[in-house]
Amino acid sequence: MTAHPYAGKRIVLTSKHEKLKLIKPAFDQYLGCDLFEENLDTDQLGTFSGEIERTAPPRETAILKARLGMNSTGLKIGVASEGSVSPDPVIPFVNSNIEHLVLVDDENQIVISEVYRSFDITVATITTSPGKDISEFLQTADFPNHGLIVRPNAEKKNDCVKGIRDLDSLNNAIAASSRISANGLAVIESDLRAHFSPSRQKNIAIVAKQLAVRASRLCPSCQMPGWGRSGYEKGLKCSTCKLENPDAIRQAKTSCDNCNHILLGQVLAKELDPANCQFCNP
């Protein structure tokens, strides 16, 4: 049996926030590669705390991160992740964590990527002042298990104190931020960097498994790594009124990013349930 093209390969993970322990187990299990971490200043591409705005979309930002490590080490294969935590674009009043993970392979001129969306994320924020009781907020924020950031109450997110995990540091940061805040208030928010957010760590480990599994599978046509689900064929007619809903999922689709070979999977539905029809059930 021919060895997988990534078996035994040195692959660089670019990360400033201790993500190797989250990603390496899946890469060891499914690829057998030598994944190691290169600690570089990825903050130049954007920060969770908002001092530096991310200008590129998340997948492209992850690719830029991977290339930082590739350029630093001279290796041709690199991995990096980019995450976001924000109000969910589909479900109101719920926060979601979306994690992108990419494998950039310049030997084969391909990029393999996966994305994972989760509602299991601890995120909280409060505006406060020195001496105010914030015990209920700290419970919601899962402090000190999850780290916190404190900054002055200002539109511009500067002078952040990050990585807070004890009460003395928290109180000192609140006092310092209040002194330099125009209205004497400080903002406390979850530190969502990977090494201070255990709930985000779980999601990164999940997307790492997804990417490792995808990279382990070779395209049946060109034999390149990265064979996996790429979306769905859509369009179903209502079983009652026969009108078509072009967005209704009909069939899963598996494809290769390298040669565009596509296979259609199991048919998930042949007709649209009237309960989901915009005409029968408006």
Interatomic CA distance for residues 138 and 128, integer angstroms: 12
User: Is residue 50 over pLDDT 70?
Assistant: no
pLDDT at 52: 73
Averaged pLDDT for residues 262-272? 90
- Average pLDDT for the chain: 93
Predicted confidence at residue 213, as pLDDT, reads 97
Q: Are 89 and 115 in contact (CB under 8 A)?
A: no
Q: Is the pLDDT of residue 189 over 90?
A: yes
**Residues 256, 263: Cα–Cα separation, whole Å:** 9
pLDDT digits (tens, 9 = 90+) for 102-135: 999 999 999 999 999 999 999 999 999 999 999 9
The pLDDT tens digits of the residues spanning 191-233 come to 999 999 999 999 999 999 999 999 999 999 999 999 998 888 8
Domains of the chain: 10-118+194-216 (3.90.950.10), 125-190 (3.30.1490), 230-276 (no CATH)
**pLDDT value of residue 1:** 58
What's the pLDDT band for 44 if we cut at 50, 70, 90? Answer: confident
Q: Percent of the chain beyond pLDDT 70? A: 98
In this structure, what token pair is assigned to residue 205? 């480990």
Mean pLDDT of 251-265: 90
Q: Residue 87: pLDDT above 80?
A: yes
What is the percentage of the chain residues whose pLDDT exceeds 90?
A: 77
Which tokens sit at 221? 């046509």
Q: What pLDDT, on the 0 to 100 scale, is given for residue 257?
A: 82
pLDDT of res. 49 = 66
Higher pLDDT, 260 or 83: 83
| Average pLDDT rounded to a whole number, residues 244-269 | 90
pLDDT for residue 232: 87
CA dist 178 and 182 (Å) reads 8
pLDDT over 80 (residue 48): no
> SS3 for the chain, per residue?
CCCCCCCCCEEEEECCCCCHHHHHHHHHHHCCCEEEEECCCHHHHCCCCCCCCCCCCHHHHHHHHHHHHHHHHCCCEEEEEEEEEEECCCCCCCEEEEEEEEEEECCCCEEEEEEEEECCCCCCEEEECCCCCCHHHHHHCCCCCCCEEEEECCCCCCCCEEEECCHHHHHHHHHHHHHCCCCCCEEEEECCCHHHCHHHHHHHHHHHHHHHHHHHCECCCCCCECCEEEEEEEEEEECCCCCEEEEEEEEEEEECCCCCCEEEEEECCCCECHHHCCCCCC
Q: What confidence score (pLDDT) does residue 171 get?
A: 97
Which has more pLDDT, 2 or 232? 232
> Which of 57, 81, 115, 118 has its CA nearest to residue 195?
81
Range with lowest mean pLDDT among 13-17, 136-140, 212-216, 278-282: 278-282
